[in-house]
Structure 1
């Protein structure tokens, strides 16, 4: 895990700008800094790297990694590097390090661009092939590791963070106000549907893409992997066994490290399954960390206590608190160079402080499980809609009423016929509040859009969440939250083999016996306490906005009401009404957080 930045083109950055960029990159990688530059044909190439050492801690694995006419800078981890290295050795390749970095370079020499089809991991890399006079950029299948690009008359700049591109290019692009508008109107799910950033002219390289450059112009990247729903006949037992085998492999390879491992633990099943398999099946030593919210409908202390007893691992907890909210939000928005996208993502950033204070450089999380195993409240109703017209429908509705239906708070989800009667209903996804237009100066931006991946209503939703909505938002914030503290963060469920298998499982097997995420629960039996594994409640890092934003604090009120470009988009009088201590925020919690976050984003940018 590291930071990367670079340039290819006719007019390179100054040495001073490069060195200032490297100094800025140290936060992502404090264990080593490196700079390479050379003429390649008619172009100048510059590659910058800051290292966070996780595998093969020796300096021999520092980057830029130069060998055999190639120069590589790489951010991420190749989890199956051991298996790929063994395959390359059998083909005659030799190695001088024990790093996954060298595996990428050797794999490129062996298979060219085809190397991306053999890697399991998260990555953003730039690989210069001096002999061929070309530079190759790539990102992992889910976009876990960021890579932004900016085309200019001088050439192409790229980097792990927008601030690196700004510094290296000596440019300050304008804010994309339209993107802030979309965020305020629709929330985090809309942020990554368009391949842009919060700054004009700076755009992310798409996930699951690879592109080869011979100069400063960016060709269209090639998408090397796209998930497809292709259900195959299988029994429940075959589905459980297939999930278990691939899940255990996914956890096993993500435990490869030469440093101690932390795990963020909620009271839900996702993180507990990863922890249970790691501790009880692979005998991995873990330290666990949790965020605690005391309000009853968010309180998961009982389940976290059960998890800790079951794991027998060292554990740390941190309570949610309002003290320091604005200062922390300001640090995060400045580091993000974007609004913090949700309360849950803010709380994750809060928790990283505790993990960092304990000296860890590596953490594992349970993100992505809901989107691949069907874990959200609306997933159950999409699944029921798929049964409508069959003899199973009424009995399954009765099961729902006695299971997940008991815990639903959103009124849209209290009707089991919701997606039978209105299969295109998406208000619960794209609106930040029940009547968002009443608080906005302008209409609520574009209508809600989703990719038409398949005809199955549930799987279409899940694939949109995986590739365009919730998972990209979680990964964006997760990378920045953890790398602010120089900590690598691994996501166990975003495994290409696991997800490819799940896309062959018929949808009727995803929810059974009144349980969402049925296959995950069954695959992990014996590794997680039953009171967690078969709880009907859904838990994760979350809290109401009033646990963070104190509406009786004069400093908070002054900040929320001070002049800002946000009030060109949002009605000031509506925000003022929400800030009254006795105002009912039902349905408005997330919107009020988004207003605070967008205001802080503007406040941290020069000139506002």
Structure 2
């Protein structure tokens, strides 16, 4: 796991540009605290920051292989879980290796198979190869979009990086956000390829982007395809169990201390139980960590989304699986610390709008990093097995928009509310100025994006209307919704120098479960039936019977009070550029209100306002708005 960046310029000599390349590389320091390296030649410059996970002494980058017609160099971020098998295959083909790293395997794989090496990789990765033999740059991203990857076309080449900040460190890349960027920022739909910053693009998941003197070419090596599922239900459960065990075995490989993230839900509990059993078979004990908030378990108040606190279920799993466990308990003081908010915005490069969900995750990872360098997480299971309530909500089934935005089935429980002096508006934009809300026209933006997304889904011949409806809902979650959470997990973890792996995003598992009939994903009358059946033998009954509960959110009233106080301070600076976006009068009304802010949805407006203001202070973006 690392941070990568680079610059290709076919009309310039980059050998005099090392200071600029160094500046781009240093923005990735949090992603790679264990080492740095650069490689500069006439038309290509590569930068790398390393977080050492496998082959600690031998995996330094950039890594290159000289050939008779030029050196082939790579900067690589991520992990290739089948590198041992690929290494054996390449050795049989005559390749020799000087390290034990998966990076060298990927580089040798490129030398053997060219761009099609991507089709052979199982893992999470974003890497760039400068092929001096053909004077071209090849950028490849993993199938699920686990590792972020951005590029910025220039008049004679391209800039690229793991995060926008690496690209924005180059003088040619202006930090500009247009109305279209704000649409993407506020819409909560994660349009593939969209990077919010003007002129910047995301390397789409499952694609190869090739840059040469003749231009930029994008090819797709993987897509989530519709296929006929021929296995019966028992066979399907057995295959899911087999894939889970194999994926966990592959992803537990590391030369550094590792652990799991345990919430007490079905996903993380199944993952932890399987991982603990595999470790125990080798005479080792697995570590696990959970997040909690001061006083939450003792004073928990159930709501529509969260019927019970996580901690009792976490401890049931710990007892059954025998992990060495630690609860990371967070208080409101650290959650509202402006410096922590600054770290979160810096990790995201954008004001995400996720509030304490981002802040608490960052603090959790920061605490875990004191004990471990790699962690397994349960991301993607809800999207894959059908865990969210919108999979079952009639409003989502009947809607013609993204299911997590339909009616009152939005992920955070927000629906629509009346705005004084105007028609009803989505809560997601309730503090925006009327002028900006009208200019963004988010409803049409979301609707157009929905139609584009659905058009890419293939219906099986003879597929029933009910199955087709659920196929669309599943596909949208696996190609749009999950990428919001994968990006969040990567940014918050790498800001702490912690590698987080996501076993439920293994493309073999995704392809198989996606095409299984929906009826089998809810055959026991609950969500995620296939996962529950596949892991039933290793989980405590309390977890098997537990209803889905999202990532926890603080209920401490002092957290909400601190948000109001900080927004009140912001209001004392009426000339702040944030008030070009946020309606000052509405913010003042929200600050003065005595309405309790006990859940994440009700606090989101204040959190987003603070995030926007700090983002403007940190990045000084040029805002090109109508």
* Structure 2 match to 1:279: 276
Q: C-alpha distance in 2, partners of 1:93/1:561?
A: 66
* Structure 2 match to 1:572: 584
Partner-residue secondary structure (3-state), 1:579 = helix
- CA 1:168–1:578 in 2, change beyond 3 Å: closer, same or farther? same
Match of 1:90 among 92, 95, 110: 92
Does residue 306 (structure 1) correspond to residue 316 (structure 2)? The answer is yes
* Structure 2 match to 1:530: 541
The one-character-per-residue Cα deviations of 1:65-98 (angstroms, maximum 9, x if unpaired) are 1114311110110011111112222333222211
* Structure 2 match to 1:47: 46
Match of 2:101 among 75, 99, 102: 99
Q: How far did residue 578 of structure 1 move?
A: 2.7
CA contact (8 A) 2:390 2:396 kept: no
Shifted more, 73-82 versus 284-293: the winner is 284-293
Superposition map of 1:244-255 within 5 A: 244-255=241-252
Q: C-alpha distance in 2, partners of 1:544/1:182?
A: 29
Q: C-alpha distance in 2, partners of 1:239/1:223?
A: 28
Superposition map of 1:197-346 within 5 A: 197-215=195-213, 218-283=215-280, 285-293=285-293, 294=296, 295-297=300-302, 298=306, 299-324=309-334, 325=336, 326-342=338-354, 343-346=356-359
The one-character-per-residue Cα deviations of 1:455-494 (angstroms, maximum 9, x if unpaired) are 52222122112212x2211122222211111111111110
Q: C-alpha distance in 1, partners of 2:584/2:51?
A: 44
* Number of residue pairs the alignment of both structures matches: 561
Q: C-alpha distance in 2, partners of 1:313/1:73?
A: 36
The one-character-per-residue Cα deviations of 1:234-261 (angstroms, maximum 9, x if unpaired) are 3220110111111111111100111110
Match of 1:369 among 374, 381, 393: 381
Q: C-alpha distance in 2, partners of 1:419/1:480?
A: 30
- CA 1:257–1:517 in 2, change beyond 3 Å: closer, same or farther? same
- CA 1:230–1:429 in 2, change beyond 3 Å: closer, same or farther? farther
Superposition map of 1:486-565 within 5 A: 486-543=497-554, 548-550=559-561, 554-559=565-570, 562-563=573-574, 564-565=576-577
- CA 1:335–1:420 in 2, change beyond 3 Å: closer, same or farther? closer
- CA 1:175–1:419 in 2, change beyond 3 Å: closer, same or farther? closer
The one-character-per-residue Cα deviations of 1:268-307 (angstroms, maximum 9, x if unpaired) are 1111111100011342532211111413325222111212
* Structure 2 match to 1:166: 168
* Structure 1 match to 2:462: none
* Structure 2 match to 1:582: 594
- CA 1:33–1:327 in 2, change beyond 3 Å: closer, same or farther? closer
CA contact (8 A) 2:21 2:46 kept: no
Instruction: Kindly report the root-mean-square deviation, in angstroms, between the aligned alpha carbons of the 2 structures.
Output: 2.6
* Structure 1 match to 2:110: 108
CA contact (8 A) 1:289 1:315 kept: yes
Q: How far did residue 2 of structure 1 move?
A: 0.8
Q: C-alpha distance in 2, partners of 1:552/1:480?
A: 23
Q: How far did residue 45 of structure 1 move?
A: 0.6
CA contact (8 A) 2:7 2:160 kept: yes
Partner-residue secondary structure (3-state), 1:550 = helix
Q: How far did residue 103 of structure 1 move?
A: 0.7
Q: C-alpha distance in 1, partners of 2:596/2:183?
A: 24
What 5-or-longer segments of structure 1 have no aligned partner? 382-416
CA contact (8 A) 2:567 2:606 kept: no
The one-character-per-residue Cα deviations of 1:544-585 (angstroms, maximum 9, x if unpaired) are 595643258634432367544443334333333333452255
- CA 1:194–1:419 in 2, change beyond 3 Å: closer, same or farther? closer
Does residue 351 (structure 1) correspond to residue 353 (structure 2)? The answer is no
CA contact (8 A) 1:173 1:201 kept: no
Q: C-alpha distance in 1, partners of 2:179/2:146?
A: 25
TM-score by length of 2: 0.84
* Structure 1 match to 2:145: 143
